[in-house]
């Protein structure tokens, strides 16, 4: 019998309709898996079994009547502890926030999930205020990797990626301000999409401004397309949201890639990439060619925009902690304190110069996409390193942006970008390939990713059973 934790969201919905699986059975299985993996990787800040099982029972009643509430009725989901989830605290990995409520509001994407009947398992871990590319925080400690719990899950949506990879619900909502769904997806062997900015409404607005996107972490691209059809629904609270996405994201998912113009950039102009990562990504690119894409090795030709990103990101971090007195600042992650001090020292002219650099990068990528439909790069130049540190030990790097040069540029440009698992290293650690398209071309990214899944790009990427060899 198939383990219910192995079923994807699309399969669960089909099984509910066929009456071969009930939402209660699926939710019990997901909760049991979450409890099993929690001591190993600490993916969750809070599990709410009582509420989840009540929601699952209500869903089962609707399915029995043949009246599902929406596209995800009865599907277990988890929510990164950056996004509001009604009924419990959102503490963002920080000791500076109080659990006192009332917690009466859902974030827009969470509200859409609730409208479609999803079952909420609980909240997943994040570094403090989502500030870095690994997941550890003063409040929650360290989140490990399902492929090796002594290694990092990545971040800042590390709990979500670890939970999905190990079957504690097939869907999770994360946020991505510099790679924060794509980084953990690459390290944990899951799929993730950073949609075009504004495609998924966000409230409250991120202190990191228009760098931060809400996006799905899922088992594959088909599940992500289903989830996007739910969470991209309109919400008046986000003044910067985009209009509805035409026919949605599942329509056209199976269309062929024949003639798709693909630019393959193995180093994005000079990034040092682990040889095993390079080989796996090249194989994925060769698959795209076999699927009918016209592939050319080409560089976008921009210089590393890390300094502009730092100005915008560190300024946002400084704004997050601005209301805190010295006593509460002492509770912050030491690394966060450092970047906040740096961010507070920037001038308005520094900030505007970074905005200018951002606009120039967006212009350059807009021109690039008149020649190419898709840009393909590694998601990360390395595989997962030791948990509990911001940068790989012995690397000499100062900040997490030193090892994420493929992800943060596309937060500056607001383009859709996805990470697809494309193999394992000799140590059995996942490797991700990144697909980037022009703004608003989210459906194209999903279509290309779906084709890669269909061609078997991720067939070998599966974590060991929880506890096996850990």
Residue 461 placed within a domain: no
SS3 at position 437: strand
SS3 at position 107: coil
Q: Sign of the C-alpha dihedral, residues 183, 184, 190, 195?
A: negative
What DSSP string runs through 36-96? HHHHHH--EEEE-HHHHHHHHHHHHHHHHHT---STTTT-EEEEETTS--TTS---TT-TT
Residue 137 known to be catalytic: no
Residue 421 placed within a domain: yes
Residue 169 placed within a domain: yes
Q: Using alpha carbons, list the distances in angstroms from residue 132 to 105, 129, 234, 368.
A: 26, 9, 29, 29
Q: In terms of domains, do 82 and 124 share one? A: yes
Q: In terms of domains, do 265 and 402 share one? A: yes
* DSSP 8-state class, residue 390: S
Residues of the domain holding 214: 4-305+349-454
Q: Which of 59, 78, 80, 153 is catalytic?
A: 80
Q: How many CB atoms lie within 10 A of CB 322?
A: 11
| Alpha-carbon gap, residue 256 to 252, rounded angstroms | 9
Q: In terms of domains, do 43 and 78 share one? A: yes
- Residue 445: give its domain's CATH number: 3.90.1300.10
Q: In terms of domains, do 241 and 109 share one? A: yes
The total number of structural domains that make up the chain: 2
* Two tokens, residue 124: 């997943």
Residue 426 known to be catalytic: no
| Alpha-carbon gap, residue 188 to 152, rounded angstroms | 9
Residue owning tokens 């894409």: 293
Q: In terms of domains, do 435 and 449 share one? A: yes
Alpha carbon 325 to chain centroid, angstroms: 32
pLDDT of the chain, 470 residues: tens digit per residue: 469 999 999 999 999 999 999 999 999 999 999 999 999 999 999 999 999 999 999 999 999 999 999 999 999 999 999 999 999 999 999 999 999 989 999 999 999 999 999 999 999 999 999 999 999 999 999 999 999 999 999 999 999 999 999 999 999 999 999 999 999 999 999 999 999 999 999 999 999 999 999 999 999 999 999 999 999 989 999 999 999 888 899 999 999 999 999 999 999 999 999 999 999 999 999 999 999 999 999 999 999 999 999 999 999 999 999 999 999 999 999 999 999 999 999 999 999 999 999 999 999 999 999 999 999 999 999 999 999 999 999 999 999 999 999 999 999 999 999 999 999 999 999 999 999 999 999 999 999 999 999 999 999 999 999 987 54
b/e sequence 155-187, b meaning 16+ C-beta within 10 Å = bbbbbbbbbbbbbbbbbbbbbbbbbbbbbbbbb
Residue 460 placed within a domain: no
The per-residue pLDDT for 2 is 61
Q: In terms of domains, do 388 and 430 share one? A: yes
Q: Which of 180, 212, 265, 425 is catalytic?
A: 180
| Alpha-carbon gap, residue 409 to 415, rounded angstroms | 9
The per-residue pLDDT for 467 is 80
Q: In terms of domains, do 326 and 292 share one? A: no
Residue 78 known to be catalytic: no
Q: Which of 22, 137, 156, 315 is catalytic?
A: 156
Q: In terms of domains, do 329 and 296 share one? A: no
The per-residue pLDDT for 274 is 98
């Amino acid at each position: 019998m198939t383990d219910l934790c192995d079923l994807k969201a699309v399969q669960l919905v089909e099984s509910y309709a066929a009456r071969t699986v009930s939402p209660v059975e699926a939710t019990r299985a997901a909760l049991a898996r979450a409890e099993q993996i929690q001591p190993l990787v600490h993916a969750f800040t809070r599990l709410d079994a009582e509420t989840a099982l009540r929601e699952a029972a209500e869903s089962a009643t609707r399915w029995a009547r043949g009246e599902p509430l929406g596209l995800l009725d009865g599907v277990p989901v988890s929510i990164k502890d950056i996004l509001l989830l009604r009924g419990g605290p959102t503490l963002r990995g920080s000791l500076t926030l109080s659990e006192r409520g009332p917690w009466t509001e859902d974030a827009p994407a969470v509200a859409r999930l609730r409208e479609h009947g999803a079952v909420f398992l609980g909240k997943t871990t994040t570094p403090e205020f989502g500030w870095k590319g690994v997941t550890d925080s003063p409040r929650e400690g360290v989140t490990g990797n399902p492929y090796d719990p002594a290694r990092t899950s990545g971040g800042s949506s590390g709990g979500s990626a670890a939970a999905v990879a190990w079957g504690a619900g097939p869907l999770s909502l994360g946020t991505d301000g510099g790679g924060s769904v794509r980084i953990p997806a690459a390290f944990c062997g899951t799929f993730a999409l950073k949609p075009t900015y504004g495609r998924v409404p966000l409230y409250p607005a991120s202190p990191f401004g228009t760098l931060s996107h809400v996006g799905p972490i899922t088992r594959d691209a088909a599940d992500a397309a289903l989830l996007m059809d739910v969470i991209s629904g309109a919400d008046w609270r986000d003044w910067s949201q985009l209009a509805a996405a035409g026919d949605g994201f599942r329509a056209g998912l199976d269309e062929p890639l024949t003639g798709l113009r693909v630019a393959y950039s193995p180093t994005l102009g000079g990034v040092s990439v682990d040889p095993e990562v390079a080989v796996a990504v090249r194989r994925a690119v060769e698959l795209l060619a076999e699927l009918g894409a016209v592939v050319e090795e080409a560089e976008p030709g921009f210089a590393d925009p890390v300094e502009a990103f730092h100005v915008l990101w560190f300024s946002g971090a400084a704004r997050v902690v601005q209301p805190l007195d010295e006593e509460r600042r002492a509770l912050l992650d030491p690394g966060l304190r450092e970047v906040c001090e740096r961010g507070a020292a920037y001038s308005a002219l520094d900030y505007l110069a970074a905005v200018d650099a951002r606009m120039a990068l967006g212009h350059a990528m807009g021109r690039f996409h008149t020649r190419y439909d898709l840009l393909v790069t590694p998601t990360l130049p390395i595989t997962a390193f030791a948990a509990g540190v911001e940068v790989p030990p012995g690397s000499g790097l100062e900040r997490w942006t030193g090892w994420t040069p493929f992800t943060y540029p596309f937060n500056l440009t607001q383009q859709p970008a996805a990470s697809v698992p494309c193999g394992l290293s000799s140590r059995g650690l996942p490797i991700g390939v990144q697909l980037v398209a022009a703004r608003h071309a989210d459906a194209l990214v999903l279509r290309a990713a779906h084709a890669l899944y269909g061609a078997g790009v991720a067939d070998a990427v599966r974590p060991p059973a929880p506890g096996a060899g850990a």
